[in-house]
Amino acid sequence: MISLLLKKRPITADSFIFRRLNYSTMVKPFLFTVFLFTLLCASLQITAQDSSRIRVSLLTCEPGEELYSIFGHSAIRIIDSNSVTDYVYNYGTFDFEDSDFYVKFIKGKLLYFISVERTDDFISSYQSENRSIEEQLLNLSENEKKSIQKDLNENLKEENKYYKYDFFLDNCTTRLRDIISKNKNPRPVLPAVMHDNKRFREAIHEYLRKGGQYWSELGIDILLGAPTDRIMTASEQQFLPYNLMKAIDKCSNTSLVISKSTIYQSENNGNNGDLFKPNICFLLLFLFLAGAIRNKNNFTRKALLIFDYSFFFIVGLLGVLLIFMWIGTDHTMTKNNYNLIWAFPLHLIAAFFIQSENKIVKYYFGFTTVLLSLLIVSWLFLPQQLNSALIIIVLILLTRSYSIYSAPGKR
C-alpha cells in the first residue's frame, strides 16, 4: 500500500499552479465564449422572429347570474409596448338606449358592434360581478399579431363596427375565433370539445341549469324550434366562450397557446336557482284543477269557466307569438316550432266560444283532444325536444278540451 502511494507523482507547487493557470486561461474563456455565442444566437433569433413588442391573448369570462350573461363572454386583449397600450376588444356591445331596442331584439334585427376599452376597466367590471377571467397568450408571429391588431382597429371604424347578432352562429365569441383563424398560418384546426351528437339545445341547457335558470329554460324551449335540436359541428360548438377556450387549447395542427393564466378567480357563492320550478308549479295547478273538477258546486263551475277562457286565450296568444317568431323575424332557430301543436293560435278565438252549443266548436275541442293525445304518445319521438314541464300543460289542455267536448248543452 505504501509502495503504491510512493509511485504516485508528488504534486509540487509549480505543477499545481500550472494546472490552475491551464484551466483558467483555456477552459473558462472557451466556456464563456460558448455562452456568449449561444446568448447572441437566441437574441438574434427572437429579434428575427418578433420585433413587434405586441402580445395578443384571448380572454374568457365566467358566466354571470343574469340571463344575458349566463353563457359567459369572450374578448381579445392586445398589449402593445411600442405605444404603451393595453386594450380589450369586445364584440358583445349593443346600444340599450336605442328607442327601438326591444322591437329590433324580438325581430332579430338588433345590431351589435365592436368596442374597445382599457384592460383595467374591463377586469374591474367582471370583478364587480364576481366572474372569473381566464387568459390564453396566443402563439403568433410578428406579422400575425400586427394583422390581427389591424383587423380589429379596422372594424372599429364607424362604417365597419356593426353586425347583425346571431346567438348561435354569429356572436361575440365566433367573431374572435374567425379573426384568429383568418390571420394564423397555418389556419388552426379547432377540434370538438363536447361529446358526439351534442345538440344546440342540450348545450344551452347545461348553462341554464347550472345557473338555476329553470323558468328561462322553459321560455327559451318554447321559443326555439326544431333547428335548435340539430347536432352541432366542431365549429358550431365554439359559439360558447368556454368551448372556444378549450378548442384553442387542443388545436390539433399547431401550438396556438404559449401560456395560460387566471387574471381573476371568482368566489363561489353557489346558486340553487328558483325554489318553485316550472314542473312543480304546473303540477300544483293540475292537482288544484283536479280537485275543483270533483267539487261540482256553482262556485267551482264558474271558476273553471273563467280558467278555461283565460287558459285557452293565453295559449292561443302564445301560438300567435310563435308564428310571428317563425315567419316574421330574422331568427334562424325559431323556425319549425313543434310547440305549435299544443300552443295552437286558433285557441285565441275558440276561447270566446267555450259555452257555445255550435257543433263546430264541439268538433274543434274534440279534434284538440285527439291531437293532444297523439302529442303525448309521440313526445319522445318528435324532431324537436319539448320541455318536460310542458307535459303537464298539455295534460291540462287535454282534460279541459275533453270536458268542453263532452259537456251536454251549455256548461
Mean pLDDT of 306-317: 97
- Could you tell me if 388 and 345 lie in one domain? yes
The string of pLDDT tens digits covering residues 5-44 is: 333 333 333 333 333 434 445 545 554 554 555 544 444 3
**C-alpha cell belonging to residue 122:** 374591463
The answer to whether residue 221 is domain-embedded is no
Q: Which residue has the higher pLDDT, 97 or 343?
A: 343
Distance of CA 392 to the CA centre of its chain: 29
Instruction: Look at the chain and report how many structural domains it folds into.
Output: 3
Q: Give the whole-angstrom CA distance, residue 162 versus residue 155.
A: 8
- Could you tell me if 357 and 402 lie in one domain? yes
CATH number of the domain enclosing 237: 3.90.1720
The string of pLDDT tens digits covering residues 214-232 is: 999 999 999 999 999 999 9
Q: Of 49, 66, 87, which residue constitutes the final position of a domain?
A: 49
- Could you tell me if 250 and 118 lie in one domain? yes
The answer to whether residue 382 is domain-embedded is yes
pLDDT of residue 409: 59
**C-alpha cell belonging to residue 129:** 360581478
Q: Give the whole-angstrom CA distance, residue 411 versus residue 409.
A: 7
Poorest-pLDDT segment among 98-107, 169-178, 187-196:
98-107
**C-alpha cell belonging to residue 83:** 405605444
- Could you tell me if 15 and 112 lie in one domain? no
Cα torsion at 283, 393, 361, 346 (round to 10°)? 150
CA atoms within 13 A on the CB side of 199: 14
How big is the CA angle at 82 (ends 79 and 83), to the nearest 5 degrees?
A: 75
pLDDT of residue 29: 54
Q: Identify the domain containing residue 39 by its residue range.
A: 2-49
Q: Give the whole-angstrom CA distance, residue 16 versus residue 148.
A: 63
**C-alpha cell belonging to residue 107:** 325581430
Q: Give the whole-angstrom CA distance, residue 214 versus residue 223.
A: 14
The answer to whether residue 117 is domain-embedded is yes
pLDDT of residue 30: 53
- Could you tell me if 249 and 163 lie in one domain? yes
The string of pLDDT tens digits covering residues 43-76 is: 434 433 467 799 999 999 999 988 889 999 999 9
Counted residue by residue, the chain has a size of 411
- Could you tell me if 153 and 286 lie in one domain? no
Element of type H or E holding 88: strand 85-93
- Could you tell me if 246 and 352 lie in one domain? no
The string of pLDDT tens digits covering residues 133-150 is: 999 999 999 999 999 999
- Could you tell me if 33 and 91 lie in one domain? no
The DSSP secondary structure of 319-376, one letter per residue, reads HHHHHHHHHSS--STTSS-GGGGTS-TTHHHHGGGTT---HHHHHHHHHHHHHHHHHH
The string of pLDDT tens digits covering residues 229-262 is: 999 999 999 999 999 999 999 998 889 999 999 9
- Could you tell me if 253 and 303 lie in one domain? no
